[in-house]
Structure 1
Amino acid sequence: MPPGTLERTAPSLFRHGPSPRARLVLYVALALFLMVADARFRITDPLRNAVATALYPLQWLALQPVQFASQGAAYFQELDAARSELDEARRAMAQMTLRASQNEQLLRENAQLRELLALRERLTAPARAAQVLYDAPDAYTRRVVIDQGQLAGVEAGSPVVDARGVLGQVTRVHAALSEVTLLIDRDQTIPVLNVRTGARSVAYGDPTGMQGGGMELRFTPGNADVQEGDLLTTSGIDGVYPPGLPVARVVRVERRADSTFARIWCQPLAQVHGARHVMVLAPVAAVLPERPQPAPAAHQSRVKSTPAAEADAQAAGGRRR
């Protein structure tokens, strides 16, 4: 065997080094020394900073999945919270809109009731407040149903008015309900008086008139003094409507040379569409005082007899005997 091939160091079996106990003591002493040195002299701060700077990219990459997961969970939680808040805000807005519409409706009803109360003070005929429930289910008539009937003392033929004027007439009475035929119904007529001229005429309902229904003055001579804007009120000659109630206003007058009569269209002053609160009046004929009946002939003869006449009668009776 060549001499150069021989190992110059002893094999590991024959090596002798410090014992494990000595190593433990050495390492403990070194650790204590480093701890004391770091606490007193901060000798490991540069090393710690260098290691932290070197490991920061690795730490950032390692934390990215955790941050992404936490941010994703927070995003979905915030999205659910935003959706719930949006739904709650929409419900609150709907409730506020409903309350606002109800408040507006209440304000309108209060205004109508105040006007009705003022109208009731001006009326001399007995009046009863009523509320319109719904329109009558008949496409060929213009009627509404009110919440007063026979139990409340409503009679057929009673006029119905609102805060603006005459609305119609009660045509059918039930126990707790009544049907009111509006002025714009084709079968409804009402005697009217032109306030400006004092001329009387009769207004007929015209359901196909202006703005979804109106009235027409028929059989009016073409040379009659009627102008646009004239106010028509009840004349009171029919024994149903009290005189002086506002009915309609003339909106159009058409005179033609080939016709003897003029065509006059009127717009009712009452709220024929969408009336809510009304007043039911007693017919004029029902509240008029009854005329005293003439006494019988025998009673009149007894009333007109005098003591002298009685004496003459007794004398005549004696002569007959």
Structure 2
Amino acid sequence: MPLGTLDRDPPAFFRQGPSALSKLAVCSAMALFLMVADARFQVMQPMRAFFGTVLYPMQWLALQPVHLVQSVSGYLVSVGSAESAKERAQAQLSLQSLRANQVEQLLLENQRLRQLLDLRARLPVDGVAAQVLYDAADPYTRKVIIDKGMLHQVALGSPVLDASGVLGQVTRLYPLVSEVTLITDRDHAVPVLNTRTGARGVAFGDTATHADAMELRFMAANADVVVGDLLTTSGVDGVYPPGLPVARVEKVERRVDAMFARIYCVPVALVAGASHVVVLAPGNASIAPRPEPQLAPAAKPSRSRDLK
């Protein structure tokens, strides 16, 4: 056989190409180059947009069962929550109707008793709505700034309430804003009344246990105070109107070697997150001033001194 007719290509078994390591290095370099080029110059953006447009109908079809299941489950949850909310609203409406009827009867009885005992009626209190702007800059006090001041007829010492109860008292006035000291401040005190027993006391701000806490101090170790008692304003200070919710007893510690019990309370008002408040006129503005003491008449000179 002449040599010219022989196949010069080696068989497939003996054919050798680039090694696997070389192919890996070339592919890695190309991938790195494409990533850098795409990050820098967005060279793959047209291709990405093209494939995204082409694949969008398939993605939409694939997501339809998921959206259907989500919509059905959301509808069922909303129906269930609406039914439960309706039941709660009806129960609350029935309770409020019962309480309204009781309140009307109690108001009538209260009016008759006051007329019978010739007691003065409760003082009318006016209020001004305000908004909490920000907390005071001093981190060692519990104070907030509201957007009402002297130009809005806010007086020094005015009580401040939120939707739940007593929040604090106006302690500094400016023309357009006011500074409110919260009831949890360590220098603030509120005369309170235990609605269960009728015992009066004084609740102080207490930041030793946690940031928003109060302490009912100077109560005897055997005082009838239990966890859950509601404390309201007693009105004896002439600042806070009586009957406003202040705090609820959280913990009572009685020790044999101590004369007073340690009573920790939690404010009813949203002390840490109140945004809208009502500023009341101070109660002492409607109370008659205290009568001035009468001076004792001068002693008459004795007759013996006149004879001299």
Structure 1 length-normalised TM: 0.54
Tell me the residue number matched to 1:172.
172
Partners of 1:146 and 1:179 within 8 A in 2: yes
Tell me the residue number matched to 1:226.
225
> 1:187 Cα shift?
0.2
Question: Structure 1: which amino acid aligns with 2:245?
Answer: P
**1:106-145 matches, cutoff 5 A:** 124-145=124-145
Q: Distance in 1 between matches of 2:51 and 2:149?
A: 59
Tell me the residue number matched to 2:209.
209
Tell me the residue number matched to 1:75.
47
Tell me the residue number matched to 1:15.
none
> 1:242 Cα shift?
0.3
Q: Distance in 2 between matches of 1:226 and 1:173?
A: 37
Report the CA distance shift for 1:123/1:279 in structure 2 as closer, same or farther (over 3 A).
Answer: farther
> 1:77 Cα shift?
3.1
Structure 2 length-normalised TM: 0.56
Partners of 2:123 and 2:286 within 8 A in 1: no
Tell me the residue number matched to 1:314.
none
Tell me the residue number matched to 2:191.
191
> 1:208 Cα shift?
2.9
Question: Structure 2: which amino acid aligns with 1:219?
Answer: F
Corresponding position: 1:157 with 2:129? no
Report the CA distance shift for 1:80/1:285 in structure 2 as closer, same or farther (over 3 A).
Answer: same
* CA displacement, residues 150-175 of structure 1 (integer Å, 9 cap, x when unaligned): 00011110000001000000000000
Equivalent pairs counted in the alignment come to 186
* CA displacement, residues 225-259 of structure 1 (integer Å, 9 cap, x when unaligned): 00100000000000100000000000100001111
Partners of 1:142 and 1:207 within 8 A in 2: no
Partners of 1:182 and 1:188 within 8 A in 2: yes
Q: Distance in 1 between matches of 2:186 and 2:291?
A: 39
Report the CA distance shift for 1:158/1:76 in structure 2 as closer, same or farther (over 3 A).
Answer: same
* CA displacement, residues 123-142 of structure 1 (integer Å, 9 cap, x when unaligned): 94110000000001111100
Partners of 1:215 and 1:266 within 8 A in 2: yes
Question: Structure 1: which amino acid aligns with 2:279?
Answer: V
Alignment gaps of 5+ in structure 1: 1-71, 83-121, 294-321
Tell me the residue number matched to 2:254.
255
Q: Distance in 2 between matches of 1:259 and 1:266?
A: 19
**1:1-321 matches, cutoff 5 A:** 75-78=47-50, 124-210=124-210, 212-288=211-287
Q: Distance in 2 between matches of 1:167 and 1:76?
A: 59
Give the alignment's Cα RMSD to 1 decimal: 3.0
> 1:260 Cα shift?
1.1
Tell me the residue number matched to 2:90.
none
Q: Distance in 2 between matches of 1:279 and 1:123?
A: 17
Whichever of the two has the greater Rg, that structure is 1
Report the CA distance shift for 1:123/1:200 in structure 2 as closer, same or farther (over 3 A).
Answer: same
Q: Distance in 1 between matches of 2:235 and 2:216?
A: 17
Tell me the residue number matched to 1:95.
none
Report the CA distance shift for 1:75/1:267 in structure 2 as closer, same or farther (over 3 A).
Answer: same
> 1:219 Cα shift?
1.2
Q: Secondary structure at the match of 1:261?
A: coil
> 1:213 Cα shift?
1.9
Q: Distance in 1 between matches of 2:50 and 2:128?
A: 60
Alignment gaps of 5+ in structure 2: 1-43, 55-121, 293-308
Q: Distance in 2 between matches of 1:224 and 1:179?
A: 35
Q: Secondary structure at the match of 1:171?
A: strand
Partners of 2:238 and 2:287 within 8 A in 1: no
Identity across the alignment (%): 60
Q: Secondary structure at the match of 1:220?
A: coil
Q: Secondary structure at the match of 2:248?
A: strand
> 1:76 Cα shift?
3.3
Q: Distance in 2 between matches of 1:137 and 1:201?
A: 31
Partners of 1:191 and 1:203 within 8 A in 2: yes
* CA displacement, residues 97-130 of structure 1 (integer Å, 9 cap, x when unaligned): xxxxxxxxxxxxxxxxxxxxxxxxx994110000
